[in-house]
């Protein structure tokens, strides 16, 4: 049995809790990243509770609770406790599954429980070397666009380090003026998340690259470790002044990580058609799948 009263907010002080947990049980989806939880805490209000040697994560978005886990060692009794909690306290979509092992356990425990794949929330995972080298006919158009970008825009690339962060903030403000962030609830939330990432850049263990055009930052990406084999790109932004900036940011990110991480997670497309097409164009190696369970189905799973 686990109670809603056992949950506490995820804070920067919990870094060692999650570092130790993820060292033993590495996450495969960006939603479980400690950086993601902190940067988006203002929006999703992440909380966690211990259950045996594992952890259960809860988020609350617009008053709707959802649960993940248990992450770590768990038996059928612990999993049943989390499903009971989601049935009692969850919103319409009460439970998220982010790895095949948990998916198999839930299916074994509750064979009749409907579990729906959430394609919009699935992360795109690429071979880092593919994005760095862009070899083959599948990347021919991208290479042409990059060649034109380099020829016409004369970019320079540098690592994002603490002395550069003020310039990154200025770049973000220009990007938000172009995208009208304050007029879009989604972009306004992302702006807040980005500001948190920049302000806590070192504490979060973030890395990044910036692409300059005419000595001014025109694009950047921020990323960190997801697991031993995978880095995750939390943010990648570019201004429209020079066509091809996003392609350059993408390749330079991969080049900076090649040799350290075989895989690069570029998060989900959120169901946005243009974004989905752009991510598919880079030929993902695989998707980090997501499945969900609705509260109404959880309530009647044993009937």
Can you give the pLDDT at residue 43?
97
Token code pair at residue 93: 């979509």
pLDDT at 302 over 80: no
CATH superfamily of 4-122+290-299: Gcn5-related N-acetyltransferase (GNAT) (3.40.630.30)
Can you give the pLDDT at residue 192?
96
For 137, residues 6+ apart whose C-beta sits below 8 A from its C-beta are none
Digit-coded pLDDT (tens) for 70-80 = 998 777 889 99
Fold classification of 123-267 is: Aminopeptidase (3.40.630)
Question: What does the alpha-carbon distance between residue 112 and residue 180 come to, in Å, rounded to a whole number?
Answer: 46
DSSP structure class, residue 191? H
Phi, psi of 223 (to 5 degrees): -155, 165
Burial category of 136 from C-beta neighbours within 10 Å (exposed 0-12, middle 13-18, buried 19 and up): exposed
Digit-coded pLDDT (tens) for 164-212 = 999 999 999 999 999 999 899 989 999 999 999 999 999 999 999 999 9
Can you give the pLDDT at residue 273?
86
Can you give the pLDDT at residue 76?
85
Parts of the chain belonging to CATH 3.40.630.30 = 4-122+290-299, 123-267
Confidence category of residue 303, pLDDT binned at 50, 70, 90:
low
Can you give the pLDDT at residue 4?
94
Q: Give yes or no for a contact between 264 and 233, defined as CB atoms under 8 angstroms apart.
A: yes
pLDDT at 88 over 80: yes
pLDDT at 35 over 80: yes
Helices (H) and strands (E) in the chain, counts: 12, 14
């Amino acid at each position: 049995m686990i109670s809603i009263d056992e949950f506490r907010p995820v804070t920067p002080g919990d870094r060692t809790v999650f570092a130790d947990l993820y060292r033993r049980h590495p996450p495969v989806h960006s939603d479980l990243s400690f950086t993601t939880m902190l940067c988006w805490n203002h929006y999703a209000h992440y909380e966690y509770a211990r259950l045996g040697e594992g952890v259960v994560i809860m988020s609350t978005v617009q008053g709707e609770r959802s649960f993940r886990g248990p992450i770590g060692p768990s038996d059928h009794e612990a999993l049943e406790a989390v499903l009971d909690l989601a049935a009692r306290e969850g919103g319409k979509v009460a439970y998220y599954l982010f790895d095949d092992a948990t998916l198999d356990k839930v299916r074994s425990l509750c064979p009749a429980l409907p579990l729906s794949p959430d394609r919009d929330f699935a992360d795109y995972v690429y071979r880092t070397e593919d994005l760095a080298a862009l070899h083959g006919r599948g990347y021919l158009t991208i290479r042409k666009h990059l060649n034109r970008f380099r020829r016409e825009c004369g970019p320079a690339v540098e690592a994002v380090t603490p002395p550069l962060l003020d310039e990154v903030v200025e770049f973000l403000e220009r990007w938000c003026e172009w995208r009208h962030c304050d007029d879009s609830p989604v972009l306004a939330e992302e702006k807040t998340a980005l500001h948190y990432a920049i302000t806590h850049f070192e504490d979060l263990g973030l890395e990044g690259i910036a692409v300059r055009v005419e000595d001014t930052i025109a694009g950047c990406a921020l990323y960190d470790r997801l697991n031993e084999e995978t880095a995750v790109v939390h943010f990648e932004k570019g201004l429209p002044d020079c066509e091809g900036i996003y392609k350059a940011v993408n390749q330079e990110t991969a080049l900076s990580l090649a040799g350290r991480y075989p895989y690069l997670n570029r998060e989900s497309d959120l169901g946005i058609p243009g974004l989905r097409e752009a991510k598919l164009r880079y030929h993902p190696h695989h998707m980090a799948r997501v499945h969900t369970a609705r509260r109404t189905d959880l309530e009647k799973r044993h009937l």
